[in-house]
Structure 1
Amino acid sequence: MAGTSPAAILIREASMKRSILLLPLAALALAACGDSGTSANGPARVSIRLHDAPGDLKEAWVRVEQVSLQGTSSADSTSGKVVLMDTPTGWLSLTQLTGGNFATLVNDAQVPAGTYSQLRFVVCDAYVVTQSGAVYATQGTALPAGVTATGTLQVPSGCQSGLKVKLPGGGVTLESGASVMAVDFDVSQSFGHQAGASGKWVMHPVMTATSLTFSATISGTVSPAAGVTLPTCGGAVVPISQFVPRAVAGVDSISGAVQPGGTYSMTVAPNTYAMTYAPAYSFTNGDSLTVAATPSPATATVASAGSATVNYSITSATCKPHA
């Protein structure tokens, strides 16, 4: 198997269904498990989207502790678990990620080329709110302020081996290319009353990976406008790489890294993005920098496997020295 490549994961929604999108999961292509297990050196990205259908729940919230891929055989160098993310997220609402909204889970993780049979989410904390207002939560969970559990929610294996996502064809082979994987998360079938008279609710997630499409790229340049000079701040002249371009769709903001030469590139899921930037920066010596910039164009629409160019012109940059 050849090398490793970066990955990123997002959460989002499509059409009438709520979803979690995992965006660029690997810089390696995604193919059916029956395809060749050989790998290529070219970069790739894969995004993963979770959808759900309306059910009896008013709200459903989870905290993801870890996201990982699992290989298929001991003969495969990727047969062990490859951890993509192990920093717990905040509370993620499965019922509010609507209208194309998404939030980043993993960004630029390294994934070896190879064949993978499983995608897993470790979920230790979760709670649901029924239409009647009752709250069922996993035991010991620190709930948000103002939320009080009235019953127990069980998530079997969620905090141990993790929740399994069914992959197309029983598995995927990561090679060169770029892909977006859609994963159906059916909330209406994933939560229900526990059998018997315990009154508990139980979470048995129904998650199935479905379609594959290609991810997209937004790139461009960042440069000062005519007559604008980047100031000294934080003890040195501010480099152009300090600037942070952002692509915003719904609740999510994807940031790009500017190279010393003033170029940037970010991998995104197909969508329409408002192009913004980070307006303020702080330095360890207490200085603060404020910038204003104009993106051209102000929005970028990228289709599957598409690309868009957005150039930024910095119109002002002001340093406020520490007191």
Structure 2
Amino acid sequence: MAQAERPLSDHPTAAESADARTTLAGLGEAAVLARIFPRLPAADAALLGPGDDAAVLAAPDGRYVVTTDMLVHGPDFRWEFSTPTDLGWKAAATNLSDVAAMGARPTALVVAIAAPQDTQVDVLEGVADGLRLACAELAPGCGVVGGDLSTSDVFTIAVTAFGDLDGRRPVRRSGARPGDVVAVAGELGVAARGIALLFESGLEAARGTDAHAVARQLRPMPPIALGVVAADAGATAMMDVSDGLALDARRLARASVVDIEFDALGDDQLRGGEDHSLLATFPADVPLPDGFLRIGAVAPGVGRLLVSGSVFDELGGWDPYAQWDGRLS
């Protein structure tokens, strides 16, 4: 969701004056991994965790859900705003939310990091702490079972997440039917307000203005457990709201070949991304699960989005190829 508004800082400020012997290049891969592994969360599903060429996971259902997402310094996060722990948390949360949106229970993460060679090792330790804290808070039992380290001029973290359906059918984007109720679990537009404040006034001033919005931008709180709840309640379609409600709802409408008609919603709710809420559709005769709020209905159609009866045809969200031009200032 973040767009370049000012020059990028390549590393966390605290790393600038640290001893070179604590950089990734100074320590070497083996020593770096030895410091990171104890900080990573263990996975209940791991029969064999980090240390071999690959992990071995239990898949009692016989199927598993898999997804991947990356965060790149610049378009996805900024060291001037995020601590390494914030970054680890966000990298976990964005992937856990995609697993939950399929109606699955997150079981394991694989994490790959490419970092400049003069990056301090405590940056990676902080990322590992964030991964552990996010898993413990959002998806207990999910852990890191492997990954990779490499070098790059631009700090990048890529996470692959796995999930168990536990006998459920996967909830896809393409299952919404005319007459269904449209509902959301989680906040809308809060994280976008946070990033706007960060670019406008900087970290400390932004926190003073709206600490909650800044916190939700830096450490999202997706309602992971409600993905399984929605599936068990009969959700016909579901997806993670990462790029903005309007953009993601249009994706669901197109996949299901229906129109989605929203009740009156604020502009910030429609456009704001990175809340990682869950957007779901339910049969009209099914009580909405606790935590979900009705925001509209599904109608026959061809993939359009309507708000208060009018077609909403603006982008209304974050598309990195349409909006990120690579400028550093």
**Taking structure 1 as the reference length, what is the TM-score of the superposition?**
0.22
Higher normalized strand content (fraction of residues): 1
Higher relative contact order structure (alpha carbons within 8 Å, sequence separation ≥ 6):
2
Q: Counting helix residues as a fraction of each chain, which structure ranks higher?
A: 2
